[in-house]
Amino acid sequence: MTASMYTLLALAVFFANFPFVTQRLLGVFPVRGGKKRFLVHLGEWLLGFVVCGLLARLLEARAGTVHPQDWEFYAVVLCLYAVCAFPAFVWRYFWHGRNRE
């Protein structure tokens, strides 16, 4: 693997976990009430998935021919992205809430 692939992998792990770590919208804008709802977390998570996918396609195009993919590829990549988000998801919804008390 090249350095660009390692960078892409690190960015994917970052984008998968970041929505669950911060209470700000996209990490910048404050949210009314101070807490994001689950759907906002999910939307940011999906936005990160799309950004990583576009970056991966760009890197593949720079390296050579972009290979066409079927729905199975995207289903597997989405599942792997969900696995990358597991630590922050558990921290936000299971472990973090229990330790606040």
3-state secondary structure of 87: helix
What 3-state class would DSSP assign to 96? helix
Q: Identify whether the C-beta of residue 16 lies closer than 8 Å to the C-beta of residue 45.
A: yes
Mean pLDDT score across all residues of the chain:
83
pLDDT confidence bin for 101, thresholds 50/70/90: very low
- Greater pLDDT, 101 or 70: 70
- Mean pLDDT computed over 53-76: 88
- Return the C-alpha torsion angle 41, 18, 93, 91, nearest 10: 180
User: How much is the pLDDT for 76?
Assistant: 93
Cα 66 from chain centre: 22
Q: What is the Cβ-side half-sphere exposure of residue 100, based on CA atoms within 13 angstroms?
A: 7
Backbone angles phi, psi at 3, to 5 degrees: -65, -35
- Position 99 pLDDT exceeds 70: no
Residue 65: φ, ψ to 5°:
-75, 135
